[in-house]
């Protein structure tokens, strides 16, 4: 079955998920992002690669960090950026998602950046565009339900490669609410594609999906076991808005069992890095001393995110 993200030549035409994304394409994105990093240090932080192109940000779910970094990335590529006010859009008045897309395509949209609470919404848009013969319009998934958040996964890979270089020698621990996390899913698929040495999923049984072992992931219910000798630690917040019922006794007890404290961090390798996709809940999944400490690379992740999103959009526009 053809990957809906790739054209017949195997080139990226939409970014919908890291699942099934070839290693060569991931590497292309990371290499391209590296070339964009220095743009942020210039007096004029712009290149003309998307000049004359219109990028529509369609965020049907609240977001500050992701929407802002996409907007900055598109503007640094010299695109025209249109932020749709979903609360006042026609979809709030009963118009279907695909009718909204058709109207925006008629306004000469070149790219849609889509965040939606429903898993699969970006796929639906991409399939519709192909069906109506608009292969020149591209879709970037900025997070869909519990399914995927590919640009976050890619910026996480960029961060790991920046600090650690060779994935094959690394032990990466992903800690927390993996069951409800689209970031975790995107990270797991990307880490597998890049040939990571060992990947661990760490958390209570109620917050870990089944069949992780079939993906080659080592499951750890004990935090100390999961962190021991890790090179990279990715902390996740509790996705309370996506939980059905109480899966944990309390946030306080969760922190006691799975919170990343200086004592727990000491079990990892001395040069281990600590990552977090944000927003952080201090005192729930991570201690402030760790979040603000020398091993945390949480703010560089945000900076790298702009370069990675620039890379994705520039590659899509060129295919």
Q: Is the pLDDT confidence value at 14 over 80?
A: yes
pLDDT in tens, 273-285: 999 999 999 999 9
Per the annotation, binding residues for carbamoyl phosphate are 65-66, 115, 149, 152, 278-279
- In the Cβ-directed half-sphere of 245, how many Cα atoms lie within 13 Å? 3
pLDDT in tens, 287-297: 999 999 999 99
Tell me the pLDDT band of 240, cut-offs 50, 70 and 90: low
List residues bridging with 187 in a β-sheet.
none
* Averaged pLDDT of the chain: 92
Tell me the pLDDT band of 2, cut-offs 50, 70 and 90: confident
pLDDT in tens, 198-217: 999 999 998 999 889 889 99
Tell me the pLDDT band of 235, cut-offs 50, 70 and 90: very high
Confidence at residue 289, expressed as pLDDT on a 0 to 100 scale: 98
Q: Is the pLDDT confidence value at 304 over 90?
A: yes
CA 228, 302, 299, 48 dihedral sign is positive
Per the annotation, binding residues for L-aspartate are 93, 182, 237
Q: Is the pLDDT confidence value at 184 over 90?
A: yes
Percent of the chain beyond pLDDT 70?
A: 94
Q: Is the pLDDT confidence value at 262 over 90?
A: yes
Residue keyed to tokens 């249109």: 82
Task: Count, in order, helices (H) and strands (E) of the chain.
Answer: 11, 9
Q: Is the pLDDT confidence value at 244 over 90?
A: no
What's the rounded mean pLDDT across residues 220-227?
98
Confidence at residue 251, expressed as pLDDT on a 0 to 100 scale: 78
Contacts of residue 220, defined as CB under 8 A and 6 or more positions apart, other chains included, come to 173, 200, 201, 202, 226
Confidence at residue 72, expressed as pLDDT on a 0 to 100 scale: 97
Percent of the chain beyond pLDDT 90?
A: 82
pLDDT in tens, 52-95: 999 999 998 888 889 999 999 999 999 999 998 775 565 655 67
- In the Cβ-directed half-sphere of 186, how many Cα atoms lie within 13 Å? 27
Q: Is the pLDDT confidence value at 142 over 80?
A: yes
What φ, ψ does residue 267 adopt, rounded to 5°?
A: -75, -25
**Spatial separation of the C-alpha atoms in residues 273 and 103, rounded to whole Å:** 45
Tell me the pLDDT band of 238, cut-offs 50, 70 and 90: confident
For the chain, domains (ranges, CATH) are 23-148+304-318 (3.40.50.1370), 150-302 (3.40.50.1370)
Per the annotation, binding residues are 65-66, 93, 115, 149, 152, 182, 237, 278-279
Tell me the pLDDT band of 246, cut-offs 50, 70 and 90: very low
């Amino acid at each position: 079955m053809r990957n809906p993200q790739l054209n017949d030549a195997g080139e990226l035409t939409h970014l919908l998920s890291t699942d099934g994304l070839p290693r060569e394409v991931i590497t292309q994105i990371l290499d391209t992002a590296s070339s964009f990093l220095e743009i942020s240090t210039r007096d004029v932080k712009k290149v003309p690669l998307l000049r004359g192109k219109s990028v529509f940000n369609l965020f049907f779910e609240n977001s500050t960090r992701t929407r802002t970094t996409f907007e900055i990335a598109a503007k640094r590529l010299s695109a025209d950026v249109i932020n749709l006010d979903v609360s006042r859009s026609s979809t709030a008045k009963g118009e279907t998602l695909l009718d909204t897309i058709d109207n925006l395509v008629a306004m000469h949209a070149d790219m849609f950046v889509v965040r939606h609470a429903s898993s699969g919404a970006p796929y639906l848009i991409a399939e519709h565009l192909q069906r109506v013969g608009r292969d020149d319009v591209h879709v970037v998934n900025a997070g869909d339900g519990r399914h995927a958040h590919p640009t976050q996964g890619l910026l996480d890979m960029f961060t790991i490669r920046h600090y650690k270089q060779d994935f094959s020698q690394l032990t990466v621990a992903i800690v927390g609410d993996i069951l409800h996390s689209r970031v975790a899913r995107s990270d797991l698929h990307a880490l597998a594609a890049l040939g990571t040495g060992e990947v661990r999923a760490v958390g209570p049984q109620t917050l870990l999906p089944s069949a992780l072992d079939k993906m080659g992931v080592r499951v750890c219910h004990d935090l100390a076991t999961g962190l021991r000798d890790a090179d990279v630690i990715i902390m996740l917040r509790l996705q309370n808005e996506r939980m059905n019922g109480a899966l944990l006794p309390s946030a306080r007890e969760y922190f006691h069992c799975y919170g990343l404290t200086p004592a727990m961090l000491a079990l990892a390798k001395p040069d281990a890095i600590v990552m977090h996709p944000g927003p952080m809940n201090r005192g729930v999944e991570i201690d402030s001393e760790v979040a603000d400490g020398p091993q945390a690379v949480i703010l560089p992740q945000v900076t790298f995110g702009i370069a990675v999103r620039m890379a994705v959009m520039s590659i899509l526009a060129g295919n």
